[in-house]
Amino acid sequence: MTGRWALAPVEGGGADVVPLGPDDLPSGPVRREPDLAEAVRSRPGVTRWVWRSTAEVYPRLLAAGVRVERCHDVEDAETLLLGHEGRSGEPRNAAAALGRLRGGPVPPDPPTRNADPSAQDPLFEAADPVDVPLADLLAVYAEQRRRLAATAHPDRMALLLAAESAGTLVAAEMNRTGLPWRADVHREVLRGLLGERYPGAGEPRRLAELADEVSAAFGRRVRPDLPADVVKAFAQAGVRVRSTRRWELSKLDHPAVPPLLEYKRLYRIWVAHGWSWLQDWVREGRFRPEFLPAGTVTGRWVTHGGGALQIPKVIRRAVIADPGWRLVVADADQMEPRVLAAISRDPAFMKVAGRESDLYQAVSERAFAGDRDRAKIAVLGAIYGQTSGDGLKNLAALRRRFPLAVAHVDEAARAGEEGRLVRTWLGRTCPPVGGQEEAEEAGIPLAEDDDELGPGRSTATTRARGRFARNFVVQGSAADWTFLLLAALRRRLRGLAAELVFFQHDEVIVHCPAGEAEQVTAAIRESSAEAARLTFGDTPVRFPFTTAVVECYADAK
DNA sequence: TAAATTGGCGCC
DNA sequence: AAAGGGCGCCAATTTA
């Protein structure tokens, strides 16, 4: 009952299961079990379940109260392996992987569905056309193990696959648990910001007032939610403005600007996190977005539904722990620069990142005469690829003191511009620019005709590809690390009532009884150290977290 | 008329 | 001071 087992659901609610030996082949007979959840529950000693897709299997287990320690998500692994092999455009579903292995048909991936809160009914979902029976799944898995051994750093790639699979478990568990959400508090916040709500059509009162103020300032009726109308109104008032972006408007000296900016801020809350959002996404005291691991090229997760990764600060007032419980909100401090230190192995930068105190302050003392703001601009500029303004001057100062760190991202940018593969620390791979469709699907900026630039000069799109790759190695390696962190934290929370309820790039929220808050805080600290050791090996770089134990999310910062 | 694109802004 | 990287979502507008 120990070791790895593979599992494939079958018609009628059952499953086929089989134990796997050290050679990745079955070490016993396939058993047909009548009940999927029972098949897993009755084998508590299994250390890793191999299955096609966590999203397919695990929600059913969780619904039956069954959790697993570890898994290998074959389709998730397929995505990462294809990427590593420079074949990211090929379908990643299990049936396609089988087709490539056997020379059979290679079905395309099913379209990614959009979550629609009014029409979610998983009971009536059609059978998945890309599903494969257990015997075929085993063949695909064994082949994946061979391909894994052939990667540039098999030990790192194995970690990446394990970490991503752990992420799929965490995501499924969070999807089920949901984020504690007080609808009554949310409504209070809305009333305070937006005023009375007019049932039926029309803006809430505060927005209507601000629209009137804008119109009064222009001397004619202007709809502030229509950029074209606003640009025209400014033109008629003798002010030329290229767009209605906030940073551009805020430079202007015109009486319409203050109410306009306030309107935009509140309008955004109204349409994105207002009463209809509450209606759509909050049920029984929980906000349940759908976390999708590996939703992006860089590895960052995305969510479907409710804009869960963009909850405005003011709305976080509604995230309140259950009575007697607390939220442990943990935020990694300057995660991406610390990751850059770890992957570049720049001695001076590692020294700076080896302290838990403010990294930007430490950088500023070495390169910017103590000016923290400039240090931060320079570091972020290096990571994001700043191309103009003071950023370049600051970047030069950064390069003098931390040459290897800057060279690391410069090299990634060059590789991206030249269409070479770019990898994160653990081996997640940024697709090269191949076919047009492929690149567009992956969101990679494409080269285009640009006759005005002579030979030897990059086009704007080439430079955009460079920035993409530059950021990829840092953001992606940071994602690598956070999944190891999540896996470690999940393991450490086992046995507690505490539950992971939220994850956002460099921030986690754990919901726990007040009495467990101290243990949870310690678990986060220990998980950070463990994840750093596993991911980057022997590195002096530290990854401190700011943790807050609060009843309300809004009080965490 | 439905699908795709655009402008804008929230979060990291 | 200037407008770099990654997303999702909404309404309006354009395209097919």
Query: Residue A357 is part of a domain; what is its CATH number?
Result: 1.10.150
Of A150, A176, A210, the last residue of a domain is A150
Split into its structural domains, chain A has a count of: 4
A76 belongs to a structural domain: yes
Q: State the CB neighbour count (10 A cutoff) for residue A341.
A: 29
Range of the domain at A464: 336-474
- What A106-115 contacts at long range (C-beta under 8 Å, 24+ apart), as own/partner pairs, is A114/A304, A115/A290, A115/A304, A115/A305
How many Å apart are A52 CA and C7 C1'?
Answer: 26
Yes or no: say if A415 and A436 are a contact pair by the CB < 8 Å rule. Answer: no
Would you give the DSSP letter of residue A357? S
A166 belongs to a structural domain: no
Strand-pair category, A429-430 with A302-304 = unpaired
- Whether residues A363 and A328 share a domain: the answer is no
A167 belongs to a structural domain: no
- Whether residues A190 and A214 share a domain: the answer is yes
A201 touches strand C (CB under 7 A): no
How many Å apart are A286 CA and C11 C1'?
Answer: 27
A467 touches strand C (CB under 7 A): yes
How many Å apart are A19 CA and B11 C1'?
Answer: 44
b (16+ CB within 10 A) / e for A28-37: eeeeebeebb
Q: Which helix (H) or strand (E) holds A290?
A: strand A290-292
Please tell me the distance from the alpha carbon of residue A547 to that of residue A545, in angstroms, as a whole number: 6
CB within 7 A of strand C (chain A, 226-255):
226, 228, 247
Q: Is A85 exposed, middle or buried (0-12, 13-18, 19+ CB in 10 A)?
A: middle
CB within 7 A of strand C (chain A, 528-547):
none
What pLDDT score does A548 carry?
96
**To which residue do tokens 């801020």 refer?**
A265
What pLDDT score does A384 carry?
84
**Nucleotide nearest to A300 in CA–C1' terms:** C6
A272 touches strand C (CB under 7 A): yes
A279 touches strand C (CB under 7 A): no
Q: Which helix (H) or strand (E) holds A395?
A: helix A390-401
Phi, psi angle pair for A71, to nearest 5°: -150, 170
Q: Which residues are registered as beta bridge partners of A502?
A: A509
CATH code of A528's domain: 3.30.70.370
What pLDDT score does A113 carry?
53
DSSP H helix total and E strand total for chain A: 21, 16
Amino acid at A491: R
What pLDDT score does A498 carry?
98
How many Å apart are A471 CA and C5 C1'?
Answer: 5
- Whether residues A13 and A132 share a domain: the answer is yes
How many Å apart are A336 CA and C8 C1'?
Answer: 22
Q: State the CB neighbour count (10 A cutoff) for residue A442.
A: 18
How many Å apart are A485 CA and C6 C1'?
Answer: 20
Closest residue (Cα, C1') to B6: A227
- Whether residues A114 and A246 share a domain: the answer is no
What pLDDT score does A432 carry?
77
A309 touches strand C (CB under 7 A): yes
- Whether residues A324 and A352 share a domain: the answer is no
Please tell me the distance from the alpha carbon of residue A62 to that of residue A41, in angstroms, as a whole number: 11
What pLDDT score does A457 carry?
47
- Whether residues A453 and A488 share a domain: the answer is no
**Nucleotide nearest to A276 in CA–C1' terms:** C10
**Nucleotide nearest to A463 in CA–C1' terms:** C4
Q: Is A438 exposed, middle or buried (0-12, 13-18, 19+ CB in 10 A)?
A: middle
Q: How far is CA A70 from CA A45, A58, A169, A487, in A?
A: 11, 11, 8, 9
- Whether residues A305 and A340 share a domain: the answer is no
A301 belongs to a structural domain: yes
Q: State the CB neighbour count (10 A cutoff) for residue A503.
A: 24
Strand order in the sheet with A286-287: A179-180, A286-287, A282-283
Yes or no: say if A119 and A77 are a contact pair by the CB < 8 Å rule. Answer: no
Q: Give the helix, strand, coil percentages of chain A, each rounded to 5.
A: 50, 15, 35
Please tell me the distance from the alpha carbon of residue A553 to that of residue A478, in angstroms, as a whole number: 24
Of A278, A299, A322, the last residue of a domain is A278
Bases of strand C lying below 7 A from some protein CB: 1-13
Q: What is the dihedral of CA A41, A46, A50, A54, to 10 degrees?
A: 40
CATH code of A205's domain: 1.20.1060
Structure tokens at A375: 């240090």
How many Å apart are A269 CA and C11 C1'?
Answer: 14
What pLDDT score does A118 carry?
43
- Whether residues A461 and A511 share a domain: the answer is no
Bases of strand B lying below 7 A from some protein CB: 7-12
Residue by residue, DSSP assigns A38-60 as HHHHT-TTEEEEEES-HHHHHHH
A179 belongs to a structural domain: no
A283 belongs to a structural domain: no
- Whether residues A387 and A370 share a domain: the answer is yes
Of A426, A442, A474, the last residue of a domain is A474
Closest residue (Cα, C1') to C12: A226
Average pLDDT of adjacent 10-residue blocks, chain A of 557 residues:
91 96 94 98 97 96 97 96 92 95 92 50 52 96 97 96 96 94 94 80 83 92 89 90 87 91 90 88 91 88 87 93 97 95 96 95 93 90 78 85 94 91 94 55 48 50 85 94 96 96 94 98 97 95 96 92
- Whether residues A297 and A234 share a domain: the answer is no
Amino acid at A358: D
How many Å apart are A150 CA and B10 C1'?
Answer: 42
Q: Where are the strands (E) in A75-229, listed by range?
A: 179-180
Please tell me the distance from the alpha carbon of residue A424 to that of residue A188, in angstroms, as a whole number: 45
**Nucleotide nearest to A469 in CA–C1' terms:** C5
**Nucleotide nearest to A227 in CA–C1' terms:** B7
> How many CA atoms within 13 Å lie on the side-chain side of A436?
2
How many Å apart are A98 CA and B8 C1'?
Answer: 44
- Whether residues A346 and A330 share a domain: the answer is no
CATH code of A14's domain: 3.30.420
A149: CB partners within 8 A, 6+ apart: none
Please tell me the distance from the alpha carbon of residue A53 to that of residue A159, in angstroms, as a whole number: 18
Residues touching nucleic chain B (CB < 7 Å): A 227, 231, 243-246, 264-265, 268, 272, 307, 309-313, 504-507
Please tell me the distance from the alpha carbon of residue A491 to that of residue A162, in angstroms, as a whole number: 13
- Whether residues A320 and A451 share a domain: the answer is no
